[in-house]
Structure 1
Amino acid sequence: MRDLENPDMLVPPATDAGTIPNLKFSFSDTHMQLNHGGWSREVTVRELPVATTLAGVNMALTPGGVRELHWHQQAEWSCMILGRARTTAVDQDGIS
Structure 2
Amino acid sequence: MSPRYVRLDPETVRLLDRCIAQAEGAATRLNRDGVDEVMRMRLASALMEAISLGERDEERLVAFALQVLPAYRERLAKSSTPPLPDPPPRVRGDRRAPLLR
Per the TM superposition, whether the score is higher than 0.5 is no
Larger helix percent: 2
**Higher Cα Rg, which structure:** 1
Structure of higher RCO (CA pairs closer than 8 Å, 6+ residues apart): 2
- TM-score, L = length of structure 2: 0.29
Larger strand percent: 1
